[in-house]
A and B are shown apart, each in its own frame.
Chain A
Amino acid sequence: MDKLKYYLICLVMTSVYAFAGQPEKGISVTGMVSDDNNEPLIGVSVVVAGGTAGTITDVNGHYKIIVPGSNSMLKFNYIGYLAQTKQVGNNSVINIRMEESSRTLDEVVVVGYDTQRKANLTGAVGSVDVTKQLEGRPLPDIGRGLQGSVPGLSVTTTSGRIGSSPSLKIRGAIGSLIDGASSPLILVDGVEISDLSFINPDNVESISVLKDAASSSIYGTRAAFGVVLLTTKKGSEKEHFSISYSNNYSWATPTVLPELAKSYEGAEMALEARQRTSPGTVNFTNTANLVWNEESIERMKEWERVYGGLNLSPEMVYGRDFEVISGVPYFYRSFNAAEKYIKKYSPSQQHNISVSGTTGKTNVYLGLGYMGQGGVVKVKPDKYDRYNVNMNMETKVNNWLTTRGKFLYSRTDLKTPFNFSSSSSYDALYYLYRWPSIMPYGTYEGHPFRNSVTETAAANYNTDQKDYMRVSIGATVSFTKDLSLDMDYTFNTDNEMIIQRGGEVGGWDFWSGPLVLKDNWADVSKNKIDQYFYNRDYQAGNAVLRYKKTIKAHKLNVIAGWNIEQKEAHFLNGEKRELLDLTKPEVSLAIGDQYVYGSHSDWAIMGFFGRINYSYADRYLFELNGRYDGSSKFPVNQQFGFFPSGSLGWIISEEPFMEEIKPIMSFAKIRASYGSIGNQAVGDNRFRSILATSTSGWIIDDVNETSFGTPNAISNNFTWETIESKNIGLDLRFFNDKLGVTADLYQRKNKDMISVGEEVPSFFGASAPYTNVGELTTNGWEIGVDFHHAFDNQLRLGVTLNLSDALSTITKHRNGSNTTIDGTNYQGKIYGEIWGFETDRFFTADDFNEDGSMKEGIPSQAIFETNGWFKYMPGDVKYKDLDGNKVIDWGDNTSKNPGDMKRIGNSTPRYEYNSRINLEWKGLDFELFIQGVGKRDYWGTGNMIIPGWNHYEGVFYAHQTDYWREDNLDAFYPRLTQFGQITQYSRAAALNFFPQTKYLLDMSYCRIKNITLGYSFSQKLLQKIKIDRLRIYTSFENIFEFDHLGDIPIDPETGQSTGDGGTMGFGRIYPYTRSASMGVQLKF
């Protein structure tokens, strides 16, 4: 390493001497160039304006130059700093302090197939400050890092599960009703990537977000909902190699975990709820066959009084912790399952090393990265690892040909315990909070009891291993100074291997009757080795012809291009049962039934595109885009579509009449854009009569016979969705660019939205075919403010603030406004809307007559009193009679006639905001990053949200003990009642928990996403140990939040995920975490 340093320094020195050695007449000027912190700046270019003489500063920031005379002007230029010009005059020593530029306007932004100066942008393009957003944070992936980076880019997660990718949406939660079709196109170096987690955040040079059709349409049919453009780092252009190393060590802890009610409290609540339905119930038996009654509840209380809080051995004592009476086991001891299952602190680490530089005509970048993220599972620790290699190389072969090659490799490994639960979609964490705290997590006679901790402890590891490899080659041919051709070809292969290693698990089982010691209670289908192989090959070719011409004030930039992409996917799954040795789960060592499944598919697209940029006097900006795009997703006669877009901008501040206010408003631009893009994400084979393959459920000769479905009905007029978008924007900068404001107002319309076509009678015998009959409109706005200031005492302050909002409405649909609003789509539906009642209060004794009937004048709630046992009583929920008809009802259950219902909320994240404040002072840096959602409502179901939601499980949580009783009239929750798993759309069965204002979850939050404190050692000092940069930092992620959930133990970012129990297990998820981390960034 030292050798390299030596050569590098020699290189620099040689160049300095090369300049200095020139014999020159004139005045010799010397000086030192430093930054704000008086640290020397190395390599600052110092030239004589209008002349040929020039030099760069040496390692101490010193320069020496001969200038022709005292009239000469010296120009100091350094990337990232404001250029300065100084007249030499009589000074022979000129020291310069360079001021870091706010970079905003001159910043070059990557746009579709090109780059553009920020000042000249006419479309809605956001760029991410990669350094601030991604560096020095314990981020497992770029997706999570992008949360709060650009207004209008929404990054959401449903849980804190490791190895899961967040969902990215640009401008609105939805753009099409087709599942998963509203996602942006994500491109790395111009080529799509299927999963952002393949990319090491450390290798990223820049990220742009193309938000409107005018800026994204050049990418064609997959860019209908915006584009995220990433470019990876290239070798630095300096004739100088540098090595960077950075690391991060972090420790994560769950933000919030559900807490079960005390054993006896929960048991009493369950019994009380049950007794409302079935008075006189003595024994409560739950789904897992846990039984309790008054006597056993007394024993639980006694146990808690004597042993609660003591650190008892896990071995359960018969008679003290449990008993078997008349063949029925009764448990008295309480456990904290989470403590057994979940780690308090999960460590993670990241290491990145890169080499970058230019040698001769070749520049090279090589990045290596490792990340190891520990999961929260304690009993069988889960882990997620990623390894990255990224190499970029570019060679100027001669003055007209440049070639480049890129290589990208990523390996991710996810290791999780095998899931023994009967349903693969519900993992152990779901079950952990499914049972009350008397669920025995101890042992008896050394054997564990049946529960998810036991199952996880006995599990083998599943692995999910992904390999992603990309090779790109390309060349640029410069025909003339103005005309060039870029050609690039990329091949990706992405392989995934999932191995599920099953087995058996045994111990004390009481779930299906008496307490028995079993060798195994798991299903035979769990004793298996199950391997999945996915292989996806993808290739893309791009050719772009560029023409640039500037004639006086006219600037013209034309590109024309051709793009072709093709992807083919194979899948093979083999399963073999009955492992001979549970510790050696291998196919060749299993002797049971074997199964094999597979699939094979492909798609292709081809497009021709072009763009014309024209600006006059850097003041009037015009842009036209067009793409003629073809896709294999459509019938042969409809494969191609043409989608044009355009935008214009007017930089008013350059107008002479604005000259006067320039000291205040230094820059002003108005932008407008309009465009349409085809969306090809319309589902597979919607225009083909396919006989779907299925397993029949009919077994002959031990084979579940394969069968085929009736072909789906198809429509003749099936085609693309057309996404039309309009955008108006304003960019203003004030006070010498110190303060900036960017605002956008937009509308996006899915004009030919695909939806199930016009309703057909049941007699048709199939669902109506899909056609382009709908329309969905998204309206939204974004505003961003930034401010930078350097104080005289060397303190630098930077503040950014972003705010955005979007809401989508189905403006056309086959279902009219007289469609029921139970989650179905209809014309006029606001996406995410939640219909419900307004909560009035609890009923009190005063509302009832002697005989229990409601008093005159109290609106009847008889619509809920249909199950034979439920009659309203004091402590039940009284809804508000909004329409004043003296009856609480839901009218026709349509938006036209919703009775007493109204839209009580919306589950779309609204008013998303973020703010970043950073301070730098003499090498010290501090940054505060706040991210939040101003409004998001959620109607939660599941036992944790609605007390007694699935009464068969008999579980209640600590926060639910504040329920209505004669001695607790002021409670938060109503009188206990039992429910049979009501959904948001259950009607009569909802009783006290029809969606309503009081129990609507307010999921808005303001989160301190990150606080970083760093110190960069002074370069002067580092120079002595031959280091360019050394920064140590400590960073805190998700450190604190403000929310409105009160004592309900869910993280406000929680979404609904199928993997965590869906609506049944809402909130009982793989926990979100906060973390503290520290690390080093080193460059030499």
Chain B
Amino acid sequence: MNNIKNKFNKIAFGLCLCTFGLSFVACEDFLDRPPYDEFDNEEFWQSEAQARAFMYGVYPSVFAGYGTGVAHGPFLMGETSNDDFTSESQAELGPLTIPTSDGSWSFTNVRKANYIIDNVGRLDADETTVNHWRGIGRFFRAYFYSNLVFLYGDVPYMDHYPVISDNKEDMDFLYKDRDSRIYVDSMIMEDFQYAMDHVRTDDGSLQINKYVVAAMASRLLLREGTFLKYHNIDQAKATECLKFAKKASEIVMGGSYKISDDYKALFTSNDLEGNSEVIMYRKYLDGVLAHSTLAYSYQDPQGGATCSLTESFLTKTGFPIYYNNEYWVAPTATDFYTNRDPRLTLCFRTQYYLRGENPGNFAYSLSGYSWSKFMDDSKAGSGDATFARERNVTDAPCLRLGEVLLNYAEICYELGVLDQSILDKTINVLRDRKGVEMPHLEIVGGEPAINGVVYDDPKRVQINAADPGYDVPALLWEIRRERRVELCFEGFRLNDLKRWNKLDYMMNSVNPDIRYGAYIRLSDYPEGRKNVSLENADATEGYILRNTGTQRVNMPTEKNYIYPVPTDQIILYKNHGYTLTQTKAWREE
């Protein structure tokens, strides 16, 4: 009896334990554990707040500003390969060979933009709101495609989100060949148009709005229009792009933006909020997000600007420095910086900083010229910790009215509609800026003039004579000069040279000034003289010769303007029975 009871006890106990064990796990969903702290695609695009947060991730790719950490944005040293920066040796213009792989041939951002466009419809919001966010997605797509087109010309156009599947249609789309640049340009304009029509006029501070879209369209379609024009790809499309850019610029100019009274403050301010000229800026914050642009203008040695750049700034009279002078020379820094376009001294320090000389607060510059556009020198040596590398927190003006005005003047010139009234609401507005106050640029008989005096820059004549490309008319020369001066070190120069078909300006034979830095008297620099070479080794004064090493030999060809596609992609397409066509200039005939 006892035995049976004992046995029963055992079984009962075992069963109890088993039931207990199973009861807390019997749930079928035990193994289905979606992540707690991440959004699945299905869970996203519910609210406008989610859409807004998603977009922030794209902003820094579009408005990189001064970059972060030690990495540059487009400003200052973000782009040093042009005729503004000196270097000891000149590499041949690239690209030189077809690369096996190429990180720029990337559609990651386009995919992202398409992801937005394809999904905003799921937002639980009214149509206007949905269209606003779709407009931002299309703005991004237009922006990224503009850059791809500018690099590669023809590119495959992605109007929806590609998928990998066994379906032939999907694969045909995934492996589609390049669409023509002209087609993609139309798509870009459609996107920009949609965005200008639907994106809100004001969506709060540091948010993309209609004016941001329009200002970007002004920049990018001027770029594309002039590229098509000067590379003679499609004149009709060029005009269409330029007209679009004109329309976009007019939207911005019709807004409430005003040229700021303080040129310097645009680049040295810790807070650009409320600056009347700024359409979009990137905000920096100590300890959170900082850059090094000040450090590169302060205690870090500088490679130095070319005299090609510094000499392109006009004199205070509004005439170029060589105008009426066969040979203009400023033997000292004081001479050089006196009576010049005030923007020169807003961009440069008024003394030369040679290596080996006691530099005071500032590091040396290898060309002598010490740039200071992005630095408030009055704070040098103050011990302000935010002046150190990776601590700089000045805000970056990514889009400003000044640029749009310059775009507008150039667009109008290229469309053949430039007249004095347009100059007066563009370039002359910039020249009227408080603290700049330069004489107005005038048109007299289609030629540039100052106070009614027609002039022609001897440098223009000299460069046109040496340049195998087209001649730049005197008025266009002045419009381009104004752009170079006003937008100095803002990351436009190389792209400008490319779209103007003027990479020739980076050749010593065409533009010998790119070899040199400041003109100095050796006796003024007892220590620094040891570290510089002059053009003439025996001379006691002259221009600092920076290009003492290799020099560029090969004149630019179309290959230097449009990138090849990497071979790994061509092979991949071929292996899957598809074709990816190589850029024309790079095809082996």
Contacts and interface: CB of A to CB of B under 8 A. Distances in A.
Given A512-B389, A604-B30, A699-B285, A694 B37 contact: no
Contacts of B569: 761-762
A811 interface: no
B41 A605 contact: no
A17 interface: no
A829 B82 CA distance: 44
B148 to A, nearest CB: 11
B47 to A, nearest CB: 13
A707 B385 CA distance: 29
B560 interface: no
A518 interface: yes
B31 A692 contact: no
A743 to B, nearest CB: 41
B107 A765 contact: yes
B363 A513 contact: yes
B111 A710 contact: yes
B288 interface: yes
B582 to A, nearest CB: 15
B402 to A, nearest CB: 23
B54 A699 contact: no
A524 B385 contact: yes
A688 B284 contact: no
B336 interface: no
B57 A696 contact: yes
Contacts of B295: 512
Nearest to B383: A518
Contacts of B356: 283, 326
B289 A699 contact: yes
Contacts of A566: 30
Interface string A591-628: 01100001111111110000000000000000000000
B500 interface: no
Nearest to A893: B100
Contacts of A600: 36-37
Contacts of A769: 164
Contacts, number: 214
B105 A762 contact: yes
B108 A765 contact: yes
A764 B38 contact: no
Interface stretch (A457-465, A581-589, A629-637, A646-654): A629-637
A350 to B, nearest CB: 39
B31 A632 contact: yes
B53 A593 contact: no
A919 interface: no
B158 interface: yes
A46 B361 CA distance: 95
Interface string B348-370: 00000000111111010000000
A478 B10 CA distance: 8
Contact of B40 (A593, A688, A760): A688
Interface string A685-700: 1001111111011111
B585 interface: no
Interface string B373-393: 000000000010100111100
A390 to B, nearest CB: 25
A702 B285 contact: yes
Nearest to B106: A762
Contacts of A765: 106-112, 114, 158, 162
Contacts of B254: none
Contacts of B9: 400
A280 to B, nearest CB: 10
Given A631-B31, A765-B111, A706 B38 contact: no
A593 B107 contact: no
B44 interface: yes
B159 interface: no
A512 B54 contact: no
Name the residue in A282, A524, A692, A709 with the highest tally of chain B Cβ atoms < 10 Å from its Cβ. Answer: A524
B35 interface: yes
A705 interface: yes
Contacts of A230: none
A691 B54 contact: yes
Q: How large is the interface on A (under 10, 10 to 19, 20 to 34, 35 or more residues)?
A: 35 or more
Contacts of B527: 326
A603 B33 contact: yes
A769 to B, nearest CB: 7
B54 A763 contact: no
Interface string A328-372: 000000000000000000000000000000000000000000000
Contacts of B445: none
B41 A711 contact: yes
A763 B30 contact: no
A294 interface: no
A684 B35 CA distance: 9
Contact of A401 (B10, B36, B175): B10
A701 B288 CA distance: 12
A541 interface: yes
A123 B366 CA distance: 72
Contacts of B577: none
A795 interface: no
B236 interface: no
A630 B25 CA distance: 13
B391 A707 contact: no
B57 A707 contact: yes
B287 interface: yes
Interface in B11-70: 11, 13-14, 17-18, 21, 25, 30-42, 44, 50, 53-57, 59-60, 68
B14 A763 contact: no
B174 interface: yes
B14 A479 contact: yes
Nearest to A693: B38
Contacts of A592: 287
A638 B55 CA distance: 35
Name the residue in A477, A606, A691 with the highest tally of chain B Cβ atoms < 10 Å from its Cβ. Answer: A691
Contact of B107 (A282, A636, A685, A763): A763
Nearest to A327: B358
B147 interface: no
B552 interface: no
B309 to A, nearest CB: 25
A868 interface: yes
Interface string A496-528: 000000000000000011001010100111000
A523 B107 contact: no
A543 B15 CA distance: 12
Contact of B57 (A684, A709, A764, A768): A709
B162 A763 contact: yes
Interface in B133-171: 156, 158, 162, 164
A817 to B, nearest CB: 15
Interface string A741-762: 0000000000000000001111
A648 B42 CA distance: 51
B416 interface: no
Contact of A698 (B59, B358, B391): B59
Given A513-B299, A604-B30, A700-B205, A690 B56 contact: no
Given A477-B14, A706-B56, A599 B164 contact: no
Given A708-B54, A764-B164, 6 more contacts: A477-B14, A543-B18, A605-B31, A688-B40, A698-B59, A705-B56
Interface of B: 6-7, 9-11, 13-14, 17-18, 21, 25, 30-42, 44, 50, 53-57, 59-60, 68, 89, 105-112, 114-115, 156, 158, 162, 164, 174-176, 205-206, 282-289, 295, 299, 356-361, 363, 383, 385, 388-391, 527, 530-531, 549-550, 569, 572-573, 580
10 contacts: A600-B37, A636-B32, A639-B32, A689-B41, A697-B59, A697-B68, A705-B56, A761-B569, A761-B572, A766-B111
Interface of A: 282-283, 326-327, 400-401, 422, 475, 477-479, 485, 487, 489, 512-513, 516, 518, 520, 523-525, 541, 543, 562, 564, 566, 577, 592-593, 598-606, 630-632, 636, 639, 684-685, 688-694, 696-702, 704-711, 713, 715, 759-766, 768-769, 868
